[in-house]
Amino acid sequence: MRKISLTLALLALTLQALAAGGHKRPPSVEPKDAWRMLSEGNERFARGLALKPHADAERRRELAKGQAPFAVVVGCSDSRLAPEILFDQGLGDLFVLRSAGNFADGDVNIGSIEYAVEHLGSHLVVVLGNQKCGAVTAAVKGVKKDDHVKIDELAAQLKPAADEAKDKVSGLKGDDLIAEAIERNVLLQIRNLIKGSPLIKEKLEAKEIQVIGGIYNLDNSRVRWLGEHPSEKAVIEGKKP
């Protein structure tokens, strides 16, 4: 009885706070619609027709009351890869995480993604790699892990993707091998996210969210979509290492 009373009291306080702020979070965008919005925005950007939306004073006042980003983008720190710009979105539209190598694993990254999905209503997670990624290139060329040099340590963590590219696609060299490793790394990060987050796994099973990959092409400014992990079901069931 006490637990029920406490729950009702917390609910009442939440409703009062929302009423006082005059803010009602907009309904969440379904995964397929979020994906479409990103695709259309990228096409506008690539064609030089960007709208550059949601950057005016009214939008800023609205966001001061709360946020509801329609998608999570896990991208690279590469200065040429700015998700809000290349997807032609504005303030409050995307929940963005960036690191060299577009890592989607680790407690901080997974916790951040879970926060956007569980508390902000994001139903689409995009792991976005990019052409000519420096971190993956370093992993392909080979580094000796040195605990005193963090750049080498970062590249060493991307080595599984580089090894997979070498092992599974024989004969690749140079830029072709790097391009394959970049794609393999996107899939690796998706796999790591699903394996590392019971919450993400649960919502994928319930088809409440979608986790997809993409590669941004620096030459034509377009994203090549990889879609869901090809072995998503096996990863969810723990059958994929």
User: pLDDT-derived band of residue 7, with 50, 70 and 90 as boundaries?
Assistant: very low
pLDDT digits (tens, 9 = 90+) for 92-122: 999 999 999 999 999 999 999 999 999 999 9
Cα 229 to the center of its chain, rounded Å:
13
Model confidence, pTM: 0.86
Calculate the CA 135 to chain-centre distance.
17
pLDDT at residue 24 tops 70: no
Q: Domains of the chain (ranges plus CATH)?
A: 29-236 (3.40.1050.10)
**pLDDT band, residue 77 (cuts 50/70/90):** very high
Q: Report the mean per-residue pLDDT for the chain.
A: 88
CB 80 within 8 A of CB 47: no
- Confidence check: pLDDT of 133 > 80: yes
Of the pLDDT bands very low, low, confident and very high (cuts 50, 70, 90), residue 226 is very high
What pLDDT, on the 0 to 100 scale, is given for residue 20?
38
